[in-house]
Amino acid sequence: MTVATAAAGTNIALVKYWGKRDETLNLPATGSLSLTLDRLGTRTRVAFDGGARGHDRVTLDGAPADAKVAQRVSAFLDRVRARAGISTRASVVTDNSVPTASGLASSASGFAALALAATRAAGLELSPTQLSELARLGSGSAARSIFGGFVEMERGARADGADAVAHALDAAGAPIWEVRLVVAITAAGAKAIGSTAAMQQTARTSPFYPAWVAGVDGDLTAARAAVAGRDLAALGAVAERSALRMHASALAAEPGILYWNPATVAAIARVRALREGPAPIAAFFTIDAGPHVKVLCAAADADRVAAALAGVPGVLRTLIAAPGPGARLVETTETAA
C-alpha cells in the first residue's frame, strides 16, 4: 500500500472567479488569475487502507471532519477511485497552516493537496494539467493551486471540462516577482454563505451578473500584461476593480449577499489612503467570499502596509504572504497492505 503526503499553498485571485457554466463539473463561467502563496497552505496524507467501518476516515486539523466536509472529501475520492479502478476506502489526514478560527480556511489548497496525495496513493501519476482538472472538481479555485506563483485558469469551452484547467504564467525557472499579499483578518469564524451557494444566487438573481461576466476577459488581458511587464500599479488596478465588480454583482443578488463588515470598509479606506498619502505606497486590495482584506504590494513595502492595516479598527491580525510553489509531493512510503 502506498501512503502519499502532499502539500499545497492557497491562492488569492486577482481576477476573480465568480459563477459557473456547469455545476456538476464545476466549470467556471469565466477565466481567472491568481497568486499562489507560500503561507496558508494544506498538508494532506492519504492511504487507501480500508478507512473505518466501510467509510473513508477524514481527520481535519487533528479532529474527525464534520459530516459535510467528510462527504465532500469522499465524493472527491470516489472520482480518484473510479479513475484508478479501485474501491478501497481511505484514511485522509489533513492539516491547514491557517490561524485557528480565522475564517481563512481554504478549499483551494485543500483540494489541490488532496488531488495530488490521493492520486499517488491510488497508484496514479497525473500531469500537472490533469491534476488541475481533477482539483477543479473539488473546488474551482483549487485548480489554480496546483501551480506556483502567478497562475491563469482557463474558462475552457468543452463540455467535459478537459480544457478548464490552470497554468503557470511565468516560465519555469523565471525570476520570482517579489510581490507580497498582506492579509488583514477582520473577523473570527466561518463566512456567512459559501461560495458555491453565493455564486448560484448571484447568477440566478443579480441583474449585474451578465455585466460581471462580460468584463472578465478584458481584466484577464490587462492582468496578464501586467504580470508579464511586472507592472504593480496596473495589476493592482485590475485586482481592485475585479474584486469590487464581483462583490457588486453579489450585492445586487436577491437576497443581496454582503460579505463585508465595518473593518473591511475601513481597511479599503486605509489602503487608498496609503496610496494617496504624503509618502505614497503602491498597495491594492482584493476581497474574497468573506470579510478579510488582502493587500498586494511590493516586498519592500509589506511591513509598512501590515503596520498600517494592523492599526485599522476591527482588524484582528495581519500576516504577510509571499509567492509560493505549486502542489508538491512531500513523502511517499510503501507499507505492507
- Give residues in contact with ligand PMV (CB under 6 A): 13, 16-18, 32, 107-108, 139-141, 195-196, 288-289
State which residue, 118 or 122, has the beta carbon closest to ligand PMV.
Answer: 118
The least distance separating ligand PMV from the CB of residue 29, rounded to whole angstroms, comes to 11
CA distances from 330 to 16, 45, 46, 130, 159 (A): 30, 9, 12, 19, 34
C-alpha 264/C-alpha 185 separation (Å) is 9
State which residue, 122 or 293, has the beta carbon closest to ligand PMV.
Answer: 293
| Cα torsion through 285, 288, 290, 295, rounded to 10 | -20
The least distance separating ligand PMV from the CB of residue 104, rounded to whole angstroms, comes to 11
In degrees, rounded to 5, the angle at the alpha carbon of residue 288 between the alpha carbons of residues 278 and 196 is 170
State which residue, 53 or 68, has the beta carbon closest to ligand PMV.
Answer: 68
Question: In this structure, how many other beta carbons lie within 10 angstroms of the beta carbon of residue 200?
Answer: 15
The least distance separating ligand PMV from the CB of residue 32, rounded to whole angstroms, comes to 5
The least distance separating ligand PMV from the CB of residue 218, rounded to whole angstroms, comes to 17
The least distance separating ligand PMV from the CB of residue 303, rounded to whole angstroms, comes to 26
State which residue, 18 or 48, has the beta carbon closest to ligand PMV.
Answer: 18
The least distance separating ligand PMV from the CB of residue 143, rounded to whole angstroms, comes to 8
- In Å, the largest CA–CA distance within the chain is 66
State which residue, 46 or 246, has the beta carbon closest to ligand PMV.
Answer: 246
Q: What are phi and psi for residue 323, nearest 5 degrees?
A: -55, 140
State which residue, 28 or 51, has the beta carbon closest to ligand PMV.
Answer: 28
Cα dihedral across residues 131, 137, 140, 141: positive or negative: negative
C-alpha 87/C-alpha 79 separation (Å) is 10
R_g of the chain, CA atoms, integer Å: 20
